[in-house]
A and B are shown apart, each in its own frame.
Chain A
C-alpha cells in the first residue's frame, strides 16, 4: 500500500461567524493526483490554503506523512518546504531575477549551496523551456511564462506535495495549455502527489486520479477521476458538470 502523504480529519473553518468548511475528511496517497472541483465560493481555495497553513482552521487536524501537524507558524514554516504551492496570481518577486526567484527557497531556506541549487534550477528551467530567461526580471515575462517560473520556484524545494490553486484562472487562454502541460507532465513523469483546484474540466479529467467535489464547504462526493466525469454520484455534481459545458 502506498504511503499516505496528507490526511485531513474533521477540519472546520470559520471566518468570524461564517462557517466556511464543514467537517472535511480525506487522505491522499503518494503519487496520487486529486482534483478539487466545485462552484465558486464552495471553499476550494480556502481548503487548499489550510493545507500549508496559510489559513488557520478552528477545528480538526491535518497530518503530513503520518504526523499530525501542531498548527504553529513555526511548524508550518518548516513544512512549507515540503508542500509546494502555486497561486492564481503567479506572484514572482519583482525585485529578483528569474533565477534568484527560484534560488531564494533552496539557498536561504534549505541552505543549499548556490552552485548545487543553480544546477538543479537550470534543469527545471530547461524542462519548462525557459532556460534562456534566467537572468531577466519578471516584468519582462508574459503571464504564462511567469506562471511556469512560479511552478519551477515551488518545485526547486523538492516538495513531496504540490498544491495548485487555480493556476490558469488569470491567464490568457493561449497561455493556459502550456502551463497545464507542465502540470500533466509532472503528474506522469515524476509521480508527484498533487492537489489541483481548477475550472478546466478537460484538464481535471485528464490528470485526476480522484475528484473531491465541494459545495458550500462540504465534500459532497469523492469519486475516482474517470468515473466522476462519466457518472457522478450526486445530482449536484451532475448539474455542475453540465453547467461547465463539459
Chain B
C-alpha cells in the first residue's frame, strides 16, 4: 500500500492547492451569480413592459447568450475582445463577466416567465387601487413571481457552478486546472492519482450543488402543496 493513489492528495501542498482552486471557482461563481441575478431580475421586469423595441433588444441579448455555447463565449471575451476593443482583463475577471452576463440572460427569462404567469386579475386589482407601475411590481407582481421562480433560479445556480469547470480553458486557476496540474506533476509516482484527484473534485462539486438541488426540489413541493392545499 506504499504507493496507494490516495496519497497523491497529501503529497506536498496538493490538497491545499486543490482547495485554493475550489475557492477561485466559488469566488467567480458567487460574484457572477450575485451580479447576474440582480441584473437578470431588472432585465426580466423590463421584458414585461409594453415597449416593443426594448423587448426586442433584450430578447436578442437572451438568445445570444443562450444559443452561443459557454466555451465559445469565454473564448470570445478572452481572445477577441482584447484584440478588437483593446480591453485587457485578467482571466478571472473575464470569466466573472461572461458568467454574470450569461446568468443575467437566463435569469431574465425565468423572471419574465414568472411575472407573466401571475394572473392578469392580480395586475388589474393592483391597478384598481391606484398603484403605479413601480408599486404594482414591488408589492404585487414580484413577490408572487418569486415563489414561482425560485426553484428554476436555484437550478440555474447549480448549472452555473457546474459550468465553471470550463474556466481552465481560458487558463483560470480553478479547481479543475489545479487538479490537472497535480495529476501531471505526480503521474510518475502515482499512476492512479488521476482517479483520486478527479474523485475529490467530484466530491467537491457534489457537496456544493447537491444541497442546492435538494433545496429547489423541496421548495417546489412546498409551493405545490400550498397552491393545492
Contact = CB atoms under 8 A, between A and B. Distances in A.
Contacts of B143: 95
A35 to B, nearest CB: 20
A105 B124 contact: no
B130 A95 contact: no
Contact of B122 (A52, A54, A91, A108): A91
B131 A108 contact: yes
B12 interface: no
B121 A153 contact: no
B119 A109 contact: no
A105 B131 contact: yes
Contacts of A71: none
A97 interface: no
A14 interface: no
Interface stretch (A79-87, A195-203, A221-229): A79-87
B126 interface: yes
A110 B132 CA distance: 11
A89 B128 CA distance: 13
Contacts of B69: none
Interface residues of A, number: 26
A221 B126 CA distance: 33
Nearest to A76: B127
Contacts of B70: none
Contact of B127 (A80, A93, A104, A150): A80
A93 B130 contact: no
Interface in A87-145: 87, 89, 91-96, 104-105, 108-110, 139
A105 B122 contact: no
A85 B127 CA distance: 10
The CB with the most chain B CB atoms within 10 A, among A78, A80, A92, is that of A80
A21 interface: no
Interface string B109-135: 000000000010110111111111001
A77 interface: yes
B124 A109 contact: no
A153 B140 CA distance: 14
A80 to B, nearest CB: 4
B128 A108 contact: no
Contacts of B147: 95
B139 A85 contact: no
B contact residues, range: 20 to 34
B226 interface: yes
A115 to B, nearest CB: 19
Given A95-B143, A95-B144, A77 B121 contact: no
A77 B132 contact: yes
A157 interface: yes
A52 B140 contact: no
Contacts of A78: 130
Interface in A51-83: 52, 54, 77-78, 80-81
Contact of A54 (B127, B131, B226): B127
The CB with the most chain B CB atoms within 10 A, among A78, A92, A95, is that of A95
B125 A105 contact: no
A80 B124 CA distance: 11
Contacts of A204: none
Contacts of A104: 129, 131, 139
A91 B130 contact: no
A80 B121 contact: no
B128 A154 contact: yes
Interface of A: 52, 54, 77-78, 80-81, 84-85, 87, 89, 91-96, 104-105, 108-110, 139, 150, 153-154, 157
Given A87-B124, A108-B135, 14 more contacts: A52-B128, A77-B127, A77-B132, A81-B129, A84-B129, A85-B128, A87-B121, A93-B122, A93-B144, A95-B140, A96-B139, A108-B131, A139-B229, A154-B129
